[in-house]
Chain A
Amino acid sequence: MINEFELKFKAVLANELLARNAVMSFLSPLNPSYETLCEFKTIISEGVSNAIIHGYKFDNSKDVYLKVIVYENDVEISIRDFGVGIDDVNEARMPHYTSRPDLERAGMGLTIIESLSDSLHISSIPGTGVKLIIRKKLLPQYINE
C-alpha cells in the first residue's frame, strides 16, 4: 500500500461531486491520463449514487463511506452504505436492470463500473446494506515518486 484515504458524507446527491473531487485530487499526483481520471470519477459516481438513491432512498440523515487505497499497480475503491441492501446481486448486475424506472434510471450503473474497472465485487446482506470493492489499474509508469 502506498497511500489511502477515507471519507464519510451524508446521503445527498450533491456530495457525489465531493466524492469525485476527492478522488481526483487524491489520484492527480500519480499523473493518470485525463481519460483514466474521468473513468475513476464515473466509477465513484455510480457507486455513490446507488448508495444514495437505492440504499438510502434519499434519506439524507444517513452516511455513505468511501475508501480509496493506492497500491503499486492499481487502485482499490470501496463504497459502503448501511441501507436496504440488494436481494439478488446477479439480477442487479444485469445490464438494463433497474428497480427505479420511474426515476428514469437506465439500469447501467453496475455494468459501467464493471466495464471501466478490472474487477467489481459486490457484497450485500439484505437489510444491512451494500459494499462494493472495485479495483482498477493505474499503471506504474504514471507514478511520479
Chain B
Amino acid sequence: MENKIKITSFDEGIVIKISGDLDSSKTFLYKEKIHEHMRQIGPRYIIWDFKDLTFLDSAGIGLILGRYNEVERVNGMMGLIGLNTYSRKVIAISGLFSLMKEYASLKAFIKEEKIEQ
C-alpha cells in the first residue's frame, strides 16, 4: 500500500484519509499538509479515515492529539472512521476514546452529531 494523505472537505469539516504506514518519518510532512488545509478552511470538525491504514504507532497518536487540541480551541469535534481491530486497539490503549468517538462513516458522524448542513 502506497503511503499517502488525502484531505477533503465537507461543510465545516475535513476528512483526513491516511493510507499505508503512519510512522515517525511521516508525521511532520502530514502535519504541514493538514495545517495548509486548516488555514484555508478553518474546520471545526476533523474526521480521520483509517480504512487503508496499514501501520499505526505513538507517532500517529501524537499527530491526532495535536490536531485535536486545535479543533478543541474552536469548540470543534473529532471523529474516527474505518478502524480495524488493530488500529482500534492502538487507539484504545492511547486513551483517545475519551476524547473522540468512532463512527461507521462520515454520514453517520453528521447524522449522530447533528452537524448542520
A interface vs B, CB < 8 Å?
A: 13-14, 16-17, 20, 34-35, 38-39, 41-42, 45-46, 49, 52-53, 95, 103-109, 111-112, 115-116
Contacts and interface: CB of A to CB of B under 8 A. Distances in A.
Interface string B18-50: 000101110100010000000000000000000
20 contacts: A13-B23, A20-B55, A38-B86, A39-B86, A42-B56, A45-B57, A45-B59, A46-B57, A49-B58, A52-B24, A53-B24, A105-B58, A105-B59, A107-B58, A108-B62, A109-B58, A112-B57, A112-B58, A112-B61, A116-B90
A115 B59 CA distance: 16
A52 B25 CA distance: 11
Q: What class of interface size applies to chain B in its complex with A?
A: 20 to 34
- For A20, A34, A108, which residue has the most chain B Cβ atoms within 10 angstroms? A108
A21 to B, nearest CB: 10
Given A41-B55, A53-B24, A115 B62 contact: no
Contacts of B61: 106, 108, 112
A8 B57 CA distance: 22
A109 B56 CA distance: 11
Contacts of B27: 104
A42 B90 contact: yes
Contacts of B63: 104
Contacts of B89: 35, 39, 116
Interface in B66-90: 66, 85-86, 89-90
A40 to B, nearest CB: 11
A106 B91 CA distance: 12
Contacts of B105: none
Contacts of B93: 108, 111-112, 115-116
B65 interface: yes
A116 B56 CA distance: 13
Contacts of B59: 45, 49, 105
A17 B58 contact: no
Contacts of A116: 89-90, 93
A70 to B, nearest CB: 21
